[in-house]
Amino acid sequence: MRLLSVVIPVKDERANVRPLVQWLRDALTPACDWEAVFVDDGSTDGTHAELLAVAAIDRRVKVVRLRKNFGQSAALQAGFDHAAGDVIATMDGDLQNDPADLPRMLAKLDEGFDVILGERAARHDRFLLRKVPSWCANWLIRKVLRVPFRDFGCTLRVMRREVVEEMQLYGEMHRFITALAVQQGAAVAQVPVRHHPRTAGVSKYGLGRTVRVVLDLLTVKFLASYSTRPMHLFGGLGLTAMAAGLLSLMVTVGMKWAGGQWMTGNPLLLLSVLLEMLGVQLLSLGLIGEGMTRSNFERHGRRPYLVRETANVGDHREQPAEYQRAA
């Protein structure tokens, strides 16, 4: 039977630890083999001691304590690195996600999908501080990354291990796990899940994360579209700037011939110089990016693709001698 690892980052959730572990026992023990990987992301309210107490009586509970608060993305990455399961699930530690949804999501995964996302059908969050920013962020992510899902902020998700192993989370990248999976070519589906109101602890999210999400969205877009061909982005921008600079210079010369206006006193001349310099800088940045990309792939032996599966593919040295001669 496969092992399900449930990765749960927590910070100052002492009152929620024992109820959540009991929820996990009730929901998962009849359905599958499981483990819970709690990542203590710098808690100061006794959460770590509570986790150790629970782990002492249930070996399925693993505890990873970070040295300080690194953020949810780093905590999730730490959980992934310490999870042993063939399938990895993620959820919040605030009792708003319901582990009872996980067996249904596992069944959906068995239909041939690689990732199953939760969609909070009836959210129990504050309207202005949580729901409105989330709706705006979800709309922006859909438009920029062209990923057709409605709820990117739901932490309840189930993923095959091979998908997780190709991810590197940092910054606020946990919100873009769906996009990262789609970039790998993973088959992704989204299903409605329950969402409970918070009954203990304090939410760690606010409006301040919106700016960080936008900046990380730009990073994800760049990595998705131009990480292996940076010259296509910077070179295109550079050529556009240089073309605009040439046009500005031509207008300046035309104004000189038509009206006798001094070129040195025309601001369009300065604009043309600025645009040409900007174009050269962007082209140079593209060349530097191409060099770094080549170095990254060649030095680390990486390939610009991911293989889902193979058939009759192996080392040619292991093939029969007569096949090698025929080839």
pLDDT in tens, 83-116: 999 999 999 988 888 999 999 999 999 999 999 9
Where does residue 200 rank: exposed (0-12), middle (13-18), buried (19+ CB within 10 A)?
Answer: exposed
SS3 89: strand
Do 257 and 162 lie in one domain? The reply is: no
**Do the Cβ atoms of 152 and 137 come closer than 8 Å?**
yes
Q: Are 9 and 36 in contact (CB under 8 A)?
A: no
Same-domain pairing of 144 and 214: yes
Residues 65 and 86 in one domain: yes
- Same-domain check for residues 262 and 132: no
pLDDT of residue 124: 55
Q: Are residues 45 and 66 in the same domain?
A: yes
Q: What is the pTM of this model?
A: 0.71
- Asked if residue 70 and residue 179 are part of one domain, the reply reads yes
Q: Give the domain extent around 241.
A: 230-299
- Higher pLDDT, residue 201 or 292: 292
Is the domain of 202 the same as that of 254?
A: no
Q: How many domains does the chain have?
A: 2
Higher pLDDT, 173 or 310: 173
Q: What is the pLDDT of residue 211?
A: 65
Co-location of 125 and 162 in the same domain: yes
In a domain, 316, yes or no: no
The number of CA neighbours under 13 Å toward the Cβ of 237 is: 14
End-to-end CA distance of the chain: 42
Q: Of 174, 205, 226, which residue constitutes the final position of a domain?
A: 226
pLDDT tens profile 39-49: 999 999 899 99
pLDDT digits (tens, 9 = 90+) for 160-207: 999 998 888 877 778 788 888 887 888 999 898 987 776 765 655 555
Same domain flag for 99 and 30? yes
58-67 average pLDDT score: 93
Phi, psi of 119 (to 5 degrees): -120, 115
CATH number at residue 176: 3.90.550.10
Domain match, 196 and 179 both: yes
Strand order in the sheet with 188-193: 61-65, 33-40, 3-10, 87-90, 157-160, 115-120, 188-193
Q: Which candidate, 55, 61, 52, places its Cα nearest to that of 29?
A: 61
pLDDT of 57 higher than 80: yes
pLDDT for residue 107: 93
Kind plus residue range of the DSSP H or E element containing 116: strand 115-120
Mean pLDDT over all residues of the chain? 81
User: Do 218 and 98 belong to one domain?
Assistant: yes
Percent of the chain predicted with pLDDT > 70: 79
pLDDT at 229: 80
DSSP H or E segment with residue 322: helix 321-326
